[in-house]
Amino acid sequence: MRKTLGDLARHVQSIILPATGVAYAIDPVFTGFAGEEAVREGVAAFRVFLHRLCDVLIADGDLYDTRKKIAHEYENRSGTSVYYPFLNHVKKLLLNIGFHGTLTESARSITFGNNVFNPKIPVSKSVECLRFLADCGISVDGVDLTGKKPDLFNIETLTIAYPGHPAMLTGLKVMAMAEMTLGTLNNWDIFLRCDYRALMNGGNDAASIFKDTIAPLPVNIRDFVLRLHRRCLDKGLTCEAEIKDFWILVKHSYKRKELWGLNKSLNNGFQLSVKAANTDLYADAIRKFPMVLQEMIAKGYGCGRKRSEIGHCDGGCRGLRISLDDTIWDICSDIETWFDLELACLCKK
């Protein structure tokens, strides 16, 4: 079943970084137009604005969810440009306003030119985005949004404000700068996740991302996954995070060989992905596992199209998938044993 734009908005809300009361340090490159305290206040206000934006999408998403293409059942990435173009247009517009616009001296408005609009996107779509942002509390000055088709590209200067909490504009500006200058192939969505960590070190702290990602899980499952994480770090595995199209993957590897990963995505929720390639070396131990785990391991992983017994895509290239729900509780200790056995084989190699 296709996930709606409202579903995506709920998912985005779940991965927006939680508020922090810590006065975190900020790289001076982001404080050229406002002091650290003003930037932190702005980021906090921007986070609240993002939740409001998602609330509007949850309530009215059907009005904007015009693309009905369905993602592949094994796909983790949400692919906003393909599956949810309206949110993609809104994000790009806000990014361009924040990055190219000028925060006024009073920091109560941002002025910008028509270069923030993508000429490849119909004017009607850009106007629709501006009207949507008005529903989210942003006021737009310099264009009549009530007209049928304003000529945006003949307008030299526009201004936006956020009367409800003007500090949000500082947060919009700084988080747009962070995404446009620090975004990498493995660290997308800094802007819509309001990832203030980028303002501190410019990168993605895998350990922090891991803890933030598992926070919504039930306590018992969260403790189990955290125990797995710490157990692997103690045994010398490295931890890396990848964030692409609202899909978060924190993978644990031994000498660049991935053993397992934690996934959180719109399409598949919370999952463990396991890439155990040495199960034939401890087959006797596997026979002592619960049948559900034995059957999973017996399936193996790899591209289903290249495996004659399957012959079609089964998501196998991503590893064996274990959903993080109540069904996992009875096999937690066996999973730990399984990982220990696989790691022992990797170490011998």
Q: In the chain, what are the domain boundaries?
A: 5-200, 206-348
Burial (Cβ within 10 Å: 0-12, 13-18, ≥19) of residue 61: buried
Residue 108 C-alpha from the chain's centroid:
29
Residue environment code for 135-157, b if the CB has 16+ CB neighbours within 10 A, otherwise e: ebbbebeebeeeeeebebeeeee
Distance from C-alpha of 257 to C-alpha of 61, rounded to nearest angstrom: 41
- Per residue in 72-105, pLDDT (tens digit) is 777 888 889 899 999 999 999 999 999 999 999 8
Pull the structure tokens for residue 63: 């009005």
pLDDT at 41 (0 to 100): 96
Say whether pLDDT at 340 is over 60.
Answer: yes
| Average model confidence (pLDDT) across the chain | 91
Q: Tell me if residue 110 falls in helix, strand or coil.
A: strand
Residues 6 or more apart whose CB falls under 8 angstroms from that of 188 comprise 243, 244, 245
What is the band of 315 on the pLDDT scale with cuts at 50, 70, 90? low
Least confident among 18-22, 233-237, 280-284, 328-332: 18-22
What is the band of 22 on the pLDDT scale with cuts at 50, 70, 90? confident
Distance from C-alpha of 182 to C-alpha of 288, rounded to nearest angstrom: 48
Find the mean pLDDT for residues 305-333.
76
86, 78 contact by CB (below 8 A): no
274 bridge partner residues:
260, 320
253 bridge partner residues:
238, 258
- Per residue in 132-163, pLDDT (tens digit) is 999 999 999 999 888 777 888 888 899 999 99
Say whether pLDDT at 33 is over 90.
Answer: no
pLDDT at 304 (0 to 100): 55
320, 301 contact by CB (below 8 A): yes
302, 308 contact by CB (below 8 A): no
pLDDT at 314 (0 to 100): 61
pTM: 0.92
DSSP symbol at 250: E
